[in-house]
């Protein structure tokens, strides 16, 4: 049985849960990082109890995250060698920067950027020890086009991409490959969002779909195919890049 493991953050989210299912089908060991809810992966865990471990933690709490990951590693003997960081925080309050609440704005920045720092620092401890690791961070197309009434989110996604570029250079000598995948609109289940945020997303998507040559949102499979390659043994040279999945939208 394989002894390596993939860490997936935001594992109960739309993208994270899809990736978890796909990698289960590929017989991988998975450490699924969730914050509170597990409803999208509950059945998956029941079906693959020997290959899935749940790590419930707030990514903004470095000490707890490090402790809980160490417990799983000690218990299983798995060797983490890949990280897919999909976890993200969005503000349900749709306001311009001038009208934004400073604390809410800061909370999005902290959740996305500090959370990224913490999961990277925690995972790198294992990757560097084994002189091997591959990382895919999730950015967004808004990092290059902006997001009116979503400045904290767009700023944090641009920050994540630049963390990826910097880290790729820092850790290249340790055979650690880091890339960022930045999709445009993705069709997801938005039933858990507030009504105002769903309306905001619908209007945003309608506008952006008119600009996409392929005239559709990205599917989960569109994104998975690229990530699977970037994390595979076939990729030994592509690092420090940001890949925009936008259906031809420049």
Average pLDDT, integer, range 163-188: 94
Which helix (H) or strand (E) segment is 52 a member of?
strand 52-56
Given CA atoms 107, 113, 116, 118 in this order, what sign does their dihedral have?
negative
In terms of DSSP H, where are the helices of 90-247? 102-109, 115-129, 142-145, 151-170, 195-209, 220-230
Cα 147 to the center of its chain, rounded Å: 19
Q: What is the pLDDT of residues 198-221, one digit of tens each?
A: 777 777 777 777 888 988 888 999
State phi, psi for 238 to the nearest 5 degrees.
Answer: -85, 115
Number of neighbours of residue 79 by Cβ within 10 angstroms: 17
- Domains contained in the chain, CATH given: 4-245 (3.40.50.720)
Average pLDDT, integer, range 75-100: 92
Long-range contacts of 46-53 (CB under 8 A, 24+ apart): 48/24, 51/24, 51/27, 52/20, 52/24
How far is the C-alpha of 127 from the C-alpha of 40, rounded, in Å?
A: 28
Radius of gyration of the chain (CA): 18
> What single DSSP character describes residue 110?
I
How far is the C-alpha of 121 from the C-alpha of 119, rounded, in Å?
A: 6
The candidate with the shortest Cα–Cα distance to 134, out of 224, 236, 204, is: 236
User: Above pLDDT 70, what percent of the chain?
Assistant: 96
3-state SS string for 147-165: CCCCHHHHHHHHHHHHHHH
Distances (CA, A) of 211 to 57, 128, 146, 215: 38, 42, 15, 8
The pLDDT, as a whole number, for residue 250 is 67
pTM (predicted TM-score): 0.92
CB 89 within 8 A of CB 111: yes
Q: Is the pLDDT of residue 190 over 80?
A: no
State phi, psi for 122 to the nearest 5 degrees.
Answer: -65, -45
Residues 6+ apart with CB under 8 A from 145: none
SS3 label, residue 138 = strand
Token pair for residue 210?
Answer: 């008119």
Q: What is the pLDDT of residues 46-79, one digit of tens each?
A: 999 999 999 999 999 999 999 999 999 999 999 9
The pLDDT, as a whole number, for residue 188 is 74
């Amino acid at each position: 049985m394989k002894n390596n493991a993939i860490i997936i953050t935001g594992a109960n989210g739309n993208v994270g849960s899809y990736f978890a299912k796909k990698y289960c089908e590929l017989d991988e060991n998975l450490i699924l990082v969730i914050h509170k809810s597990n409803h999208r992966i509950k059945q998956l865990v029941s079906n693959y109890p020997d290959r899935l471990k749940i790590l419930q933690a707030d990514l903004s709490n470095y000490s707890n995250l490090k402790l809980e990951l160490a417990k799983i590693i000690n218990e299983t003997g798995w060797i983490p060698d890949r990280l897919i960081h999909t976890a993200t925080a969005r503000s349900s309050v749709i306001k311009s920067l001038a009208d934004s609440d400073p604390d809410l704005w800061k909370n999005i920045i902290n959740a996305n950027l500090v959370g990224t720092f913490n999961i990277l620092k925690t995972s790198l401890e294992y990757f560097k020890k084994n002189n091997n690791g591959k990382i895919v961070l999730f950015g967004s197309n808004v990092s290059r086009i902006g997001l009116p009434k979503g400045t904290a989110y767009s700023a944090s996604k641009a920050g994540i991409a630049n963390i990826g570029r910097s880290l790729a250079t820092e850790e290249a000598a340790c055979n650690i490959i880091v890339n960022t995948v930045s999709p445009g609109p993705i069709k997801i289940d938005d039933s858990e969002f507030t009504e105002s945020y769903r309306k905001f997303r619908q209007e945003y998507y309608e506008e952006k779909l008119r600009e996409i040559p392929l005239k559709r949102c990205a599917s989960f499979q569109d994104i998975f195919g690229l990530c699977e390659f970037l994390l595979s043994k076939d990729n030994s040279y592509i690092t420090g890049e940001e890949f925009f999945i936008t259906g031809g939208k420049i």
